Structures are given as structure tokens and as C-alpha cells.
């Protein structure tokens, strides 16, 4: 039962590897491995210079497509390992800037459940802590108007609290800090990529063959510059509020297989594109270790 419930959550993450964080409020369960492959497309023609929305006719619409590989493994009942690796391609519809594409950032998270209390018919409260390490998987260009990422090495710490209500409903909140390392850009010097606080609230329902949620993600840069001279730069203070939803259904004839779809919308932001994102994915779930305790 728990196994089935977790499937949908893995998906959420796979669908939003660049969006609302990589960790959810459910544990995989010892020995369970979930893999997902998803495709996302995102575009914007409006971006925020600090907090004012502008268009740039010399870039037109910036479109990003990505293919994300994702896996989550329950090392023990209390510890999950989560990894992700997207291939990203970005281009501008106007002007002459070259398309950028490549493997973006490899991320790995360890998530441990530190607290759980069962209220029986009233539900279950659990708390988790997660640590993540994100490292660029290729030497992509971080400082062009059309770029696929910031190329910084990041450390993340997150705390999650989830309350599961009866009837499969749940509420999850998490808060985290993203420490982004300095990068050396092609111009030959080091620049600081701002750290950020990140918060997620998610509500949804999780059932044996179906899952749905809605979420809000707020990220706040701790410091940084504003987009200057019309050119985004890795030192920019990127903040945003995004909301989205996720749907998942298993595909009954095929054991352990599911499909998912999700969308996200940028409600407001600073120094970032006002992007809308659509994702679809397939999920395959398999227990690799027999665990009699589960």
C-alpha cells in the first residue's frame, strides 16, 4: 500500500526537477526503486528585471525543453536516496544567439525520516530532513542570454513536515536553504551565484492507482544583482513564486508502470522568466530487495 502511494510523489519531483525541489514527503520503503523519465517544455516571452516585467524583441520567446532521468531508492525504511539528471536545450525565437543544449546538473539527495506519529483514524504526522548535492554534469555556458543553468555546485538542506489525513489526502510543507558555490565564467574570473531560501506547500490525494496534487513554491534569493544591460547574469538575485499541479495514473495492464502530467505557472518573480511549463512522464517502479518487515 505504502509502495503504491509513493509512486506519484516520485513523479512530481521528476516532472519539476528545475522547479519545486527534488524531495517529497513520502518514504520509498526499504528496497524499493522508482525510476522515471520525463519530458518538459517551458517557455516565456516576458521576464522580470528586478520585479518589472519586460519583453525583449531581440530574444522573442525563450523556449526550454528537457528530458529528465530520475530515480529514488529506499535504502532503509528511514532513508531514501534520490538522484536526477536532466538534458536541457534552450533557444530564443528572435535574434541570433546560438541555441544551448547539454547535460545540466546531476543532483543527489539523502532524505531521512526523523519523526513519525500515528494518530490512527485521524491521520499520520511525519517529519523528514534532506541534504542535497548538485553538481554540473557538463561544462555548459552559464552567462549567455540563452543559458541552460548557472553551473554552480550547490548544497541544499531541507526540512519537511507532512500530515496525511484519512481518505488518502495529505498536506506537505517544506523549507530549505540552497547554498550555491562561486563559478568561474569564460571571461576568466570568479563570480558569486546567490544562495536562496526555498519553500513548498503541497496538498493532494494519493490512491492506489491515481494521484493528484497542487502546489505552491516560493524561492527567495538571499543576495545578488538585478539583470543589468539587458543581459541575465549568474550573479542575479533570482526569486519567484510558482504554482502548479500534477496528475498520475498507473497503467493497469502493465505491472508497476504509470504515466503522469503536470503544469507549472510563474505567478511573479525577480530576474527570471515568467515561464509556463508542461511536463509528461512515464514511471516504472520495482522492488529490488525483498523486505519482510514491509
Partner 1 sequence: MKSSNKAYVFKWKAAIMLVITFSLLQSCDEDIPSIKSLPILTPTKVDETAGNWKTVLNINASSISLPTAEAISSAAYQAELAELVSLSTNRTASQTNTANYWAAGAVVRWNEIARALVAKYNIAPVVGAPANPNKPFSNPPFAARAYALLSVAQYDALVTSWKFKYQINRPAPASSNASIKLLTPETTLPSFPSEHAVVAEASRKVLEFLFPAEKEYLQKLADENKNSRKWAGANTQSDLDAGTSLGSQVATLAINRAKTDRMSQAGSQTTFIDYFNIARIAESDRWISLELPYRPPMLPLYGKVKPWYDSVSAFAALPPAPPSLSSSEFKNALQEVRTIADNRTREQWRIADFWADGAGTFTPPGHWNLIAQELIVEAKWSEVRSARVFSLMNRAVMDAGILCWYAKYQYYLPRPSQVDPAIKTATGIPNFPAYTSGHASFSAAAATLLAYLFPSNAGQLLNQADEAALSRLYGGIHYRFDNDRGKECGAKIGQLAVAWAQADGAN
The contact set with partner 1 (CB under 8 A) reads: 57-58, 76-79, 94-99, 110, 112-116, 129, 131, 139, 141, 143-144, 155, 157, 177, 179, 181-182, 185-188, 190-192, 195, 228-231, 293
CB of 213 to partner 1, least distance (A): 25
CB of 193 to partner 1, least distance (A): 9
d(CA 100, CA 11): 26
Question: C-alpha distances in angstroms, 270 versus 7, 227, 259?
Answer: 34, 9, 33
**Residue among 167 and 189 whose Cβ is closer to partner 1:** 189
> Cell numbers of 105, please?
546538473
CB of 113 to partner 1, least distance (A): 7
**Residue among 41 and 93 whose Cβ is closer to partner 1:** 93
CB of 221 to partner 1, least distance (A): 13
CB of 247 to partner 1, least distance (A): 32
Nearest Cα residue to 148 out of 88, 194, 69, 233: 88
**Residue among 15 and 196 whose Cβ is closer to partner 1:** 196
CB of 76 to partner 1, least distance (A): 7
Query: Sign of dihedral through CA atoms 190, 148, 42, 135?
Result: negative
Question: C-alpha distances in angstroms, 26 versus 8, 100, 206?
Answer: 10, 35, 11
Nearest Cα residue to 182 out of 141, 156, 150, 138: 150
**Residue among 106 and 207 whose Cβ is closer to partner 1:** 106
d(CA 221, CA 189): 22
**Residue among 142 and 269 whose Cβ is closer to partner 1:** 142
**Residue among 115 and 119 whose Cβ is closer to partner 1:** 115
> Cell numbers of 152, please?
554552480
Coil, strand or helix: which one is 204?
A: strand
Amino acid at each position: 500500500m505504502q509502495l503504491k502511494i509513493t509512486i506519484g510523489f516520485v513523479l512530481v519531483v521528476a516532472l519539476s526537477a528545475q522547479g519545486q525541489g527534488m524531495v517529497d514527503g513520502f518514504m520509498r520503503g526499504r528496497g524499493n526503486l522508482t525510476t522515471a523519465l520525463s519530458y518538459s517544455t517551458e517557455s516565456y516571452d516576458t521576464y522580470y528585471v528586478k520585479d518589472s516585467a519586460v519583453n525583449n524583441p531581440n530574444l522573442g520567446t525563450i523556449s526550454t525543453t528537457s528530458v529528465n532521468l530520475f530515480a529514488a531508492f529506499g535504502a532503509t525504511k528511514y532513508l531514501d536516496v534520490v538522484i536526477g539528471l536532466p538534458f536541457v536545450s534552450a533557444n530564443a525565437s528572435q535574434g541570433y544567439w546560438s541555441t544551448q543544449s547539454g547535460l545540466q546538473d546531476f543532483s543527489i539527495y539523502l532524505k531521512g525520516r526523523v519523526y513519525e506519529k500515528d494518530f490512527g483514524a485521524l491521520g499520520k504526522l511525519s517529519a523528514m530532513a534532506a541534504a542535497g548535492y548538485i553538481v554540473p554534469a557538463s561544462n555548459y555556458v552559464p552567462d549567455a542570454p540563452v543559458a541552460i543553468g548557472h553551473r554552480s555546485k550547490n548544497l541544499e538542506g531541507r526540512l519537511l513536515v507532512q500530515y496525511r489525513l484519512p481518505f488518502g489526502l495529505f498536506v506537505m510543507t517544506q523549507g530549505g536553504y540552497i547554498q550555491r558555490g562561486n563559478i568561474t565564467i569564460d571571461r576568466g574570473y570568479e563570480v558569486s551565484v546567490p544562495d536562496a531560501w526555498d519553500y513548498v506547500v503541497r496538498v493532494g490525494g494519493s490512491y492506489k492507482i491515481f494521484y493528484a496534487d497542487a502546489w505552491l513554491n516560493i524561492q527567495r534569493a538571499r543576495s545578488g544583482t538585478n539583470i543589468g544591460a539587458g543581459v541575465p547574469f549568474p550573479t542575479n538575485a533570482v526569486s519567484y513564486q510558482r504554482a502548479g499541479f500534477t496528475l498520475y495514473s498507473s497503467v493497469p495492464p502493465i505491472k508497476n508502470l504509470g504515466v503522469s502530467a503536470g503544469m507549472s505557472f510563474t505567478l511573479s518573480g525577480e530576474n527570471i522568466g515568467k515561464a509556463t511549463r508542461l511536463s509528461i512522464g512515464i514511471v516504472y517502479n520495482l522492488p529490488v530487495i525483498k523486505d519482510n518487515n514491509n
